[in-house]
Structure 1
């Protein structure tokens, strides 16, 4: 075996026997000395090999215990490490990023482009987790009242924690409001950076800062959206003809909440409000209840146009409070038209309709729609849909032959247009009921016929006995 490797480069895979077989070219005592040195070196190598082997076994066990990472996982870990590395701040780059972010924020602000002379924006910093800052134009209806409501109802327990002088809302004008909002936004931004865990979540919103439940949240947001959308609600009353089918008579959100609770709405319910007016019950339901979808259909121009503005303002406010409403849609149109009629029949599980002033023709159209709805669909009305006489002669076409109707509880003053008690009814559609009624009336007729037959036979037998007696 030729020895070509330098002695100091030791192959740790060899043992003592392998080392002793090396043919070292030495003479005499030098050869013996080299042999002894070789044995000592071999022992050292053996110890080193054992130690290395133990480390290798431990390393293999560790590798088996660790899950094999995919390339994507390694990449994600490297990206996370890269993101957490302290990055040297480039002043030019940082300034450019701030300008880009400012431009993006301005693009998201409603009414930011080409504001009329004398019109400016109020900005209210959101203190809710996932909330978006609210920007409102100074020429929007009731804007100062809305901002005051946000601070007095939603931020009332937060303001004392900020280094601000408490505002005097009664004496405040536009200049004072701008100065206050500038101070508040600066303090709020600092508060959010220094105490991010203190940002309001949905649960803490109710428990600590609002001291209310989801009804009060939905009610207040709906009220604010309405105030930002309606300049003068008297236009609604002037728009409608007195005591006509189109008369505007809004149900209060308190009553709507009461009815939704009684109906025990579920997350797969699809709710329709037929004749939804300005849409406040639709937006309230979207905020208060967790349902699949809420639709509102209104054919009159004035309330439908206001409803469109309420919808946009409601979405703005929900983003400000960091809340996600149930899906909803406000439709301008006639619910008796084929497209809307088909949508109601296919989708609705709960229908609300204020039919108090409906005429005979509109009531007939409503009945036709309801007859086609799926079994189990619930219909809430303010007047019984069919008030005609119900008996075995008229039951086939009667609405009660296709539904089960019961009264709903209502609060005091449930509607906006009267202080009197107002009744609500709920009907559950049941297309099998008419067949059960037919069977019931048939059995009843057979029973009555059997009784008549019994009486006839008894009378015949009595007559026969009398004839035998006198013969």
Structure 2
């Protein structure tokens, strides 16, 4: 398989670095350290994986990858969520630590099918969790707490409101003045019409 891969890459005009092919269970303990600590790009063709196997991959590999590790898969391991879209219920979800983008597809993207196969790029980004808490704290500090809102509400209701028997002295003179002015203007207008007519 190694010689086939090298000749195929040579035919495409690509150079390859030294590599080692390992056959076996990639979830085996002796492979996990290599995958989670040394790998910078991981390709997982999980198109036909069971939900149980995908969960094991999430728990054993993805959650333990170094920041900046890129994981390309054929099924997304998390939803693409920006920091403002995240909620507390997402704290145990991989969307808290992964930036996910759907890659542009091409015709016949896989050798094992002629049909459409989506590809997703996941970038491990633990700083997203910190940004979420910073965003949440900033949002909470600008929003008054329930106790503050209740306190402000009771202060507003305690202010004395003028009763119908007590005129509101601030508004009354302005209203009376405007009313007198309009009345005088209309009287003057009628008087001028009579003189002309």
Partners of 2:79 and 2:100 within 8 A in 1: no
Aligned with 2:51 (options 344, 348, 360): 360
Coordinate RMSD, CA, aligned: 3.2
Secondary structure of 1:352's counterpart equals: strand
The Cα of 1:387 is off from its aligned counterpart by 5.0
Q: Which runs of 5+ in 2 are unaligned?
A: 165-197
- 2:33 paired residue number: 342
Deviations 1:205-243 (A, max 9, x none): xxxxxxxxxxxxxxxxxxxxxxxxxxxxxxxxxxxxxxx
Partners of 1:392 and 1:441 within 8 A in 2: no
1:354, 1:317 → 2: CA distance? 20
The Cα of 1:418 is off from its aligned counterpart by 3.2
Secondary structure of 2:20's counterpart equals: strand
- 2:158 paired residue number: 464
The Cα of 1:378 is off from its aligned counterpart by 0.5
Higher helix proportion:
1
* Equivalences, count: 157
Partners of 2:79 and 2:95 within 8 A in 1: no
Q: Does 1:412 align with 2:107?
A: yes
Task: Flag the structure with larger Rg.
Answer: 1
Partners of 1:405 and 1:427 within 8 A in 2: yes
Aligned with 2:77 (options 371, 377, 385): 385
Aligned with 2:89 (options 375, 385, 394): 394
Query: Which has the bigger relative contact order, CA under 8 A and spacing at least 6?
Result: 2
1:456, 1:412 → 2: CA distance? 60
The Cα of 1:432 is off from its aligned counterpart by 2.2
Partners of 1:353 and 1:382 within 8 A in 2: yes
Q: TM-score, normalised by structure 2?
A: 0.66
Q: Does 1:370 align with 2:45?
A: no
The Cα of 1:359 is off from its aligned counterpart by 2.4
1:382, 1:375 → 2: CA distance? 21
Q: TM-score, normalised by structure 1?
A: 0.30
- 1:443 paired residue number: 138
Change (3 A) 1:420 1:339: same
Deviations 1:112-143 (A, max 9, x none): xxxxxxxxxxxxxxxxxxxxxxxxxxxxxxxx
Partners of 2:78 and 2:100 within 8 A in 1: no
Change (3 A) 1:412 1:398: same
- 1:351 paired residue number: 42
1:371, 1:317 → 2: CA distance? 33
